[in-house]
A and B are shown apart, each in its own frame.
Chain A
Amino acid sequence: METTQTRLNFKLSGLSKLLSFRPHHLLPPRRSPSQLAFFRLGSVLRVVCLVAVPNQLILRPPSLSSSVALFLPHLCALVQSGTGPLTGPSHLKDRKCIQTDKNRIKPAEVKRRCEHHSRTAVPPPSPVACECEHLTSLASFRHASPVASLRQSPSRASSCLGQSPSSASHLRLPPCRASAIHRLRGSTCQSRRVVVWKRKMHGRPRNALKEEDTAALSAKAEKLRLLQSHFLANHHDRIYTKEALEENAKLLENNPEWHTAWNYRKLAVESFLSDSHSDPETVKSVLDEELRVVENALRKNFKSYGAWHHRKWVLSKGHSSIDKELRLLAAFQKADARNFHAWNYRRFVTTLMKIPDEEELKYTEEVIGANFSNYSAWHNRSILLSNLLKRKAEGYFPKEIVLEGEFELVHNAIFTDPDDQSGWFYHLWLIDQMVKIDAPLLVSSWPSHGLIITLQGNNCLHGSGLSVLNSTLANTGTLPIILYFSQAVEGIDSSTVNVKSELLNGDLVWKPLSTNNSNNAQVWVAFLNIGNLDIQLSKTYVVEINLGHSKGIVSSSGYDYGHASRVTFELCIQSAYTESVEQQDGKSNSWKDDDFQKFEHLQESEPMCSADQVTSEIDHIPTTSGRCEEAIVNEISQFRDLLSEIDCKIGKLTLARLLTALDSLPSPCANNMVHTEEILQLYDDLMRLDPTHYLYYKDERSLVLLRQITSSRETLLPYCYYKKDATEAVAGYVCLRLQNLSLSRMGSIENLLWVQMLDLSHNQLRSIEGLEAMQLLSCLNLSHNKLGSFTALGPLRLIKSLKVLNISYNEIGSHTIDTRRYLCSSPLSHTEEFAWDQFETLTDSIRISAATFWEPFLIFQGMNLTELDIKGNAVADENFRSFLVKVLPTLKWLDEEDLS
């Protein structure tokens, strides 16, 4: 169990970065559990997942088709209650083609089909049911026969989740539907066949089992049970005789889902191969027999993971002919064109057969032409195109021209049926292909390029009016250097980042700022130690950082750092370093409005740096070609057209995304952010129109708003305040106050690296992901937000300079299930170090339950807070406060109470 969990955790943490979906999207409060689904991934059966928010909303590149999130507590709840609707890969028996030679049509076949539909008292066991069976009766699997347990499964009756709207809205009607229309037309002929048309899964009504069926099933189960016990005995004794294998084959043909049985066959083949590797004829015949068994098993259930995997395994032995495979695939894909198993296998076979990607691309076009609501086909197309574009195959360069053709194709799908999601998905992928820059780049840094930092004797950074309240510098005499990249990178060290300065005393140690302890991070930090140096006063020291000159910085997707970049800043210390002054006075930090004063006017000397400075001063970012901008402008006009025709949510969302993409294009005629108002309006509309995905729109809206605010000095200024209690000789502290903006997510942090005092109160933040990059932050106000758990505070652990934290009036402790826990690193998944010893002594000393307090312990342990406000949270009782005092020995103020 644990390994599964870990594996998935790892996968997901990677995903959530890549996909920019935030964990809390997975379960908005009003979401019904119908969004939950159980899947089997690979050969592991025990995984329970939540299908991420209906697909169109996640920025999901099609290559990550299995973007599902582990969601354990809900599994438990669902399985126990037995009420959770289960979904599985759709079962499209309706489309089963009745083949006749040469496309001849016998009307009798219609008749048979219709009659067949009308007497579906015994629906054939569907793969869906099989899936359920595995999940619900895993424990009983070994004892009861699969068939029997299938009948017991409580979830079976409810396993028909509504058909996806896309497939329900086809013009292409299944036969029974067609005749329903006939009846509606008042056709005079008395219908000889009773057509039952209920809008259930794939139009198949579910009826209770008749008695005789139950009897037949239990007889079948009895037989299977016998086979199973034989097989298990054989397996145990390693008997691989012909008879034993035949028995096993029978078992698998009845129940292809049993992985142990497949593994037994693999062992048998291996043992045979090791015995007689002399005669290629017999080897081939043995492997052919395996293929035959797989084929029969697939006939039973063509969505059996084990069977497909076994086939791959046999083929990869390399002894059998692969000519037949495409024919087999054709049959399966005809039966169900969307079957992702078949598509997966197709990719495997075509690589094996060295079928050129171009040919496969044509094939996807055919399939899409037949029915364009086919995710699998679009997905395959995206994979093939990526390959072709990557290796710049003939006719697939430049990328923009190819993509234009693809845009045209997908427009047909989108405009024909805007309600179908598959086209939108592909479109999203295309936009991403169009605008994305593969190579990672340095986006911003602190100190930013050209910044002059003046340090004064009282250890305040007097970088032109900037004061350091409780800075790292004050305590340790170090100056953080932050590098912020466009995507997660690895390989930042003294060999790849060259720092030249007189201040340098040995190599800098670069650390990734990642919450999951990986070596990949978007933000890297190093601390320049100046406390111990013999520094000449009033001398300006130049620090020059060069990166990208040598290889080694690689993005997580494998691209090398793009262009060489250089950042220089100056450091001037005006008076000698002295011991830091202890906390100024006996007053806790107040966040009241009265204590702040707006910046009256703009001074060049002020410390804020905004996007316009950051990007213009770091090295020139390569602009994407004008063609790209043209394409996006064209897309925008297309979708404005569509929206003038119909009111469509996904259309609005796409328009918003396109406008965002256009605004963020580093175009030479930089008229950025002109569309912000429109984009915000679109998201506001969407929140109203589509309450199910309210949180997602809110997040996107927050990002747009923050990007706009941080885009220039002028826009940022209204949010900058002085702290009035300027008891120090220095100028008042600069505080960035982003209150009351309905933010649900933080963004544009690359422009806010300089911030030391941040007020995010009265927003709707559920997560503060990304905040770890603000290494100068010392005061943070998160009060009156929607933080639901301590796990959400994870990023704060990386901000060593943080002294004052206000998390009052949040929802910590109000939710019994922490939806974030399984997406974040945690000791449960062995991705976090946890000071167990310390924790145990602590729990022993104050008699608190380890189960509730390990989480805050994990967050607060190691932090150097002097002030903490936690009131207004469900968790904040007296017991908890006493715990906090123990965990945070540096704490002076708790909930505005002086502890000293």
Chain B
Amino acid sequence: MAQNKKRIHNKILSQPVCFGTKLSPTLPHHFTPHAADCFYAPSFAMAESEASSYPPIDPTNFDLIIVGTGLPESILAAAASAVGKTVLHLDPNSFYGSHFATLSLTDLTSHLNSHSLPAPPPPPSTSGSGDSDYAVVDLVQDPIYSDIEIEWHGSEDETSKMREDSRKFNIDLGGPRALFCADSCIDLLLKSGAEQYLEFKGVDASLVYEPNGGGLANVPDSRGAIFRDKNLSLKEKNQLMRFFKLVQQHLGGGGDQSDGGGEGQKISEEDLDSSFVSFLDKMRLPPKIKSILLYAIAMLDFDQDNSEVCKDFLKTKDGIDRLALYSSSVGRFPNAPGALIYPIYGEGELPQAFCRRAAVKGCIYVLRMPVTSLLMDKVTGCYKGVRLVSGQDLYSHQLILDPSFVIPSPLSSSLADFPREKIQLLSQRELKGMVARGICITRSSIKPDLLNCSVVYPPRSLSPEQVMSVRALQIGSNLAVCPAGTFILYFSTVCNDADEGKKLLKAAMNALLKPVVSVNSGSIPVVQSDNENVQPIVLWNAFYIQKVFKGKFDSMTSAPTPDGNLNYTDILDATEKLFSQMYPDQAFFPKTETPEDTMDENGVIMES
């Protein structure tokens, strides 16, 4: 039903959309990626030819223009609108979310493909037509995706069925990603009010892949989980629980009340400054528990025991914070069984929620509106405004750009007198690394009777050479991201080069799923014959490499891309930092008086 409504709505909005201040928050303007129903990958050329059909935007002066509707951009739009700035939010795509979008199966394929191609030649500069106060600098989109591999494995029927159901899939571009229940992202959602547009469900289990045929085991992440755990020995249970208690005491021991000894058991300063892994060694924790703590709870990427390759050595202080985040997540929501939650309809809901928040505060939204060039002050080289594909010039004090936009290095000749070094500076992006991502669609769950679960493959669990951990997230149909009976499985790992990353992801995939073989070969030599029966078959998979860029503050600010983490913490921190750089005197989502919500005081909720 809901799906139907949405579809109708999308039809109505298949014109370039523009809405603004008059919008009331009750208006149903829930966009989903399906808005792209009949628009496949709008190319620049196409946009160009239809330039005349773009409606003019009024007014033309803004405090802030944002191009791209990724999560950081959307948060900034909402934050800036909340402090009373006039904001124009543009997106060349027909859907919200940019690199954080959730797309249907076909849209995903075409989007990935179109964004991995080298940028098309910049359209001829129209500098002549405008007034001569500004230099016109062309913008191009530099793809952040590469090495795309998309394969269909199912039988003919299945494939065609899936193509038919393409719209029933809501696949994240930046997966796997989920939220910790105690995440700062939740706080931000509450603070901004975006939470009212979102619904979540708990990820049922956190699993860790055990090497040597150990298969998937639950992460003993809480008292109850340790109690139930079948893989740990009694002694290990005791050690782990004692470690948790130590951490808890360290964190909460500030109180003056002592309940039963052990008070003042703070971790010493010296230990706090040492590396987390050596602290764990000092606590005499066995390797098995160490690996669970480091990779499945603290979510570290690199092998901490291998100092040559490790790029993210963690100090005890930070390690303990990560444990605290995890353990305070478990049980924060009574109906979330684990530490993680995932938004219903996919990750793309998050930027949309912030966009709606921004729209309520007066931000103007125009989708399907590519920006062709920047307008710069000829003398100072400062940013002044943008030129849209429709040819309209819009002016603002500041600009935030989707990280995929760059200024092409050979500047057009008309800018001969333009301060080059300024441009050079603008066109630099800080490459932070690469993330290999994989998406599989399966017919059955990797663990029977679990719909949604997260999996961590600690370093050295897949092969002795593995130095990076791999994370996976399986989302089932109860989160409305795929048709009943199918599962989406996301993989990711940080990597140094594309081949290495993809190899690792494939190994991770093959460890859980039936190795991809041609349908004809009847008997496959198997190692674990009992496991073989339950291993799900891959129907479709995609592998791609995504570049990770940091956000950058300047007269034209660039927002960060999705990173290699499971949660949003780093992205949010970067976003908040950008905001405070842009508006140093303004609060990031100032506290507003919300009408006191009435909640019945007591009484057990009972069904009658």
CB of A99 within 8 A of CB of B605, answer yes
Q: Taking the complex as formed, is B125 at the interface, i.e. its CB lies under 8 A from any CB of chain A?
A: no
Q: Write out the residue numbers on chain A whose beta carbons fall within 8 Å of the beta carbon of B188.
A: 189
Knowing A116-B599, A173-B332, A180-B252 are in contact, say whether A108-B321 is a contact too (CB < 8 A).
Answer: no
What CA separation (Å) do A179 and B201 show in the bound complex? Answer: 20
Residue interface mask B180-216, A partner, CB < 8 A = 1: 0010101111110001101111100000000000000
CB of B199 within 8 A of CB of A105, answer yes
CB of A172 within 8 A of CB of B601, answer no
CB of A106 within 8 A of CB of B223, answer no
What CA separation (Å) do A192 and B245 show in the bound complex? Answer: 29
Other-chain contact of A299, B587, B599, B606 (Cβ < 8 Å): B606
B residues 311-334 near A (Cβ < 8 Å) are 321, 324-325, 327-334
CB of B190 within 8 A of CB of A108, answer yes
Residue interface mask B324-347, A partner, CB < 8 A = 1: 110111111111100001001000
What CA separation (Å) do A185 and B573 show in the bound complex? Answer: 14
Nearest-neighbor residue (CB-CB) of B221 within chain A? A171
Nearest-neighbor residue (CB-CB) of B234 within chain A? A415
Q: Taking the complex as formed, is B607 at the interface, i.e. its CB lies under 8 A from any CB of chain A?
A: yes
What CA separation (Å) do A642 and B237 show in the bound complex? Answer: 11
A116, A181, A302 — which one has the most chain B CB atoms within 10 A of its CB? A181
CB distance from B67 to the nearest CB of A (A): 26
CB of B251 within 8 A of CB of A171, answer no
Nearest-neighbor residue (CB-CB) of B608 within chain A? A295
Q: Taking the complex as formed, is A96 at the interface, i.e. its CB lies under 8 A from any CB of chain B?
A: yes
Nearest-neighbor residue (CB-CB) of A418 within chain B? B238
B residues 217-270 near A (Cβ < 8 Å) are 222-224, 226-229, 234-235, 237-239, 241-242, 244-245, 248, 251-252, 254-255, 257, 259-260
What CA separation (Å) do A111 and B193 show in the bound complex? Answer: 11
CB of A646 within 8 A of CB of B242, answer yes
Q: Write out the residue numbers on chain A whose beta carbons fall within 8 Å of the beta carbon of B606.
A: 295, 299, 328, 331-332
CB of B190 within 8 A of CB of A331, answer no
CB of B328 within 8 A of CB of A187, answer no
CB distance from B342 to the nearest CB of A (A): 10
What CA separation (Å) do A638 and B588 show in the bound complex? Answer: 56
What CA separation (Å) do A372 and B603 show in the bound complex? Answer: 25
CB of A182 within 8 A of CB of B328, answer yes
What CA separation (Å) do A95 and B202 show in the bound complex? Answer: 18
Q: Taking the complex as formed, is A199 at the interface, i.e. its CB lies under 8 A from any CB of chain B?
A: yes
B188, B228, B332 — which one has the most chain A CB atoms within 10 A of its CB? B332
Other-chain contact of B224, A172, A173, A177, A415 (Cβ < 8 Å): A172
A residues 282-322 near B (Cβ < 8 Å) are 295, 298-300, 302
CB of B200 within 8 A of CB of A416, answer no
Q: Taking the complex as formed, is B602 at the interface, i.e. its CB lies under 8 A from any CB of chain A?
A: yes
Knowing A104-B199, A105-B200, A332-B604 are in contact, say whether A419-B237 is a contact too (CB < 8 A).
Answer: no
Q: Write out the residue numbers on chain B whose beta carbons fall within 8 Å of the beta carbon of A279.
A: none
Q: Write out the residue numbers on chain B whose beta carbons fall within 8 Å of the beta carbon of A105.
A: 199-202, 333, 335-336, 341
CB of B333 within 8 A of CB of A109, answer yes
What CA separation (Å) do A570 and B605 show in the bound complex? Answer: 76
Q: Taking the complex as formed, is B417 at the interface, i.e. its CB lies under 8 A from any CB of chain A?
A: no
Q: Write out the residue numbers on chain B whose beta carbons fall within 8 Å of the beta carbon of A99.
A: 335, 605
Q: Taking the complex as formed, is A98 at the interface, i.e. its CB lies under 8 A from any CB of chain B?
A: yes
Q: Taking the complex as formed, is A621 at the interface, i.e. its CB lies under 8 A from any CB of chain B?
A: no
Other-chain contact of A372, B187, B227, B251, B335 (Cβ < 8 Å): B227
Q: Write out the residue numbers on chain A whose beta carbons fall within 8 Å of the beta carbon of B234.
A: 411-412, 415, 638, 641-642
Q: Please count how many residues in chain A sit with their CB below 8 Å of the partner chain's CB atoms.
A: 71
Knowing A104-B200, A107-B195, A163-B259 are in contact, say whether A415-B328 is a contact too (CB < 8 A).
Answer: no
Q: Taking the complex as formed, is B288 at the interface, i.e. its CB lies under 8 A from any CB of chain A?
A: no
Other-chain contact of A370, B224, B235, B245, B336 (Cβ < 8 Å): B224
Q: Taking the complex as formed, is B597 at the interface, i.e. its CB lies under 8 A from any CB of chain A?
A: yes
Knowing A105-B201, A331-B604 are in contact, say whether A415-B336 is a contact too (CB < 8 A).
Answer: no
What CA separation (Å) do A105 and B344 show in the bound complex? Answer: 10
Other-chain contact of B239, A170, A179, A413, A645 (Cβ < 8 Å): A645
What CA separation (Å) do A372 and B201 show in the bound complex? Answer: 25
What CA separation (Å) do A95 and B182 show in the bound complex? Answer: 17
What CA separation (Å) do A95 and B332 show in the bound complex? Answer: 10
Q: Taking the complex as formed, is B576 at the interface, i.e. its CB lies under 8 A from any CB of chain A?
A: yes
B188, B222, B245, B331 — which one has the most chain A CB atoms within 10 A of its CB? B331
Knowing A93-B602, A175-B332 are in contact, say whether A106-B199 is a contact too (CB < 8 A).
Answer: yes
CB of A103 within 8 A of CB of B202, answer yes
CB distance from B271 to the nearest CB of A (A): 17
CB of B227 within 8 A of CB of A645, answer no
B331, B333, B591, B604 — which one has the most chain A CB atoms within 10 A of its CB? B604
CB of A416 within 8 A of CB of B238, answer yes
CB of A177 within 8 A of CB of B328, answer yes
Q: Write out the residue numbers on chain A whose beta carbons fall within 8 Å of the beta carbon of B336.
A: 103, 105
Q: Taking the complex as formed, is A100 at the interface, i.e. its CB lies under 8 A from any CB of chain B?
A: yes
What CA separation (Å) do A111 and B597 show in the bound complex? Answer: 10
Q: Taking the complex as formed, is A124 at the interface, i.e. its CB lies under 8 A from any CB of chain B?
A: yes
What CA separation (Å) do A654 and B189 show in the bound complex? Answer: 50
CB of A162 within 8 A of CB of B257, answer yes
Nearest-neighbor residue (CB-CB) of A126 within chain B? B602
Knowing A162-B257, A192-B591, A641-B234 are in contact, say whether A112-B244 is a contact too (CB < 8 A).
Answer: no
A residues 354-385 near B (Cβ < 8 Å) are 368-372
What CA separation (Å) do A106 and B588 show in the bound complex? Answer: 22
Q: Taking the complex as formed, is A97 at the interface, i.e. its CB lies under 8 A from any CB of chain B?
A: yes
What CA separation (Å) do A419 and B248 show in the bound complex? Answer: 14
Other-chain contact of A181, B186, B187, B229, B324 (Cβ < 8 Å): B324
Q: Write out the residue numbers on chain B whose beta carbons fall within 8 Å of the beta carbon of A419.
A: 260
Other-chain contact of A185, B191, B325, B331, B587 (Cβ < 8 Å): B325
CB distance from A346 to the nearest CB of B (A): 15
CB of B327 within 8 A of CB of A171, answer yes
CB distance from B120 to the nearest CB of A (A): 41
Other-chain contact of A104, B196, B201, B229, B576 (Cβ < 8 Å): B201
Q: Taking the complex as formed, is A325 at the interface, i.e. its CB lies under 8 A from any CB of chain B?
A: no
What CA separation (Å) do A371 and B330 show in the bound complex? Answer: 13
CB of B602 within 8 A of CB of A173, answer no
Residue interface mask B425-454, A partner, CB < 8 A = 1: 000000000000000000000000000000
Q: Taking the complex as formed, is A817 at the interface, i.e. its CB lies under 8 A from any CB of chain B?
A: no
CB distance from A192 to the nearest CB of B (A): 5
What CA separation (Å) do A107 and B180 show in the bound complex? Answer: 12
CB of B186 within 8 A of CB of A110, answer yes
Knowing A97-B335, A173-B328, A332-B604 are in contact, say whether A110-B190 is a contact too (CB < 8 A).
Answer: yes
Knowing A171-B222, A192-B591 are in contact, say whether A641-B321 is a contact too (CB < 8 A).
Answer: no
CB distance from B250 to the nearest CB of A (A): 10
CB distance from B584 to the nearest CB of A (A): 15
Q: Taking the complex as formed, is A586 at the interface, i.e. its CB lies under 8 A from any CB of chain B?
A: no
Nearest-neighbor residue (CB-CB) of A112 within chain B? B599
CB distance from A453 to the nearest CB of B (A): 56
Q: Write out the residue numbers on chain B whose beta carbons fall within 8 Å of the beta carbon of A184.
A: 251-252, 254, 324
CB of B237 within 8 A of CB of A412, answer yes
Could you write out 13 A-B pairs with CB less than 8 Å apart?
A107-B186, A168-B259, A171-B223, A171-B248, A172-B223, A173-B332, A175-B332, A185-B325, A369-B224, A369-B227, A371-B224, A415-B235, A418-B238
5 closest A-B pairs by beta carbon, nearest first, are: A178-B328, A172-B331, A165-B260, A415-B234, A97-B334
Interface residues of A (CB under 8 A from B): 93, 95-100, 103-112, 116, 124, 162-163, 165, 168-173, 175, 177-182, 184-185, 187-190, 192, 199, 295, 298-300, 302, 327-328, 331-332, 335, 368-372, 411-413, 415-419, 638, 641-642, 645-646
Interface residues of B (CB under 8 A from A): 182, 184, 186-191, 195-196, 198-202, 222-224, 226-229, 234-235, 237-239, 241-242, 244-245, 248, 251-252, 254-255, 257, 259-260, 321, 324-325, 327-336, 341, 344, 573, 576, 587-588, 591, 597, 599, 601-607
Known: A171-B222, A299-B606. 17 other contacts (CB 8 A): A107-B186, A169-B245, A173-B328, A173-B332, A175-B332, A178-B328, A185-B321, A188-B573, A192-B591, A299-B604, A300-B603, A411-B234, A415-B237, A638-B234, A641-B235, A642-B238, A645-B242
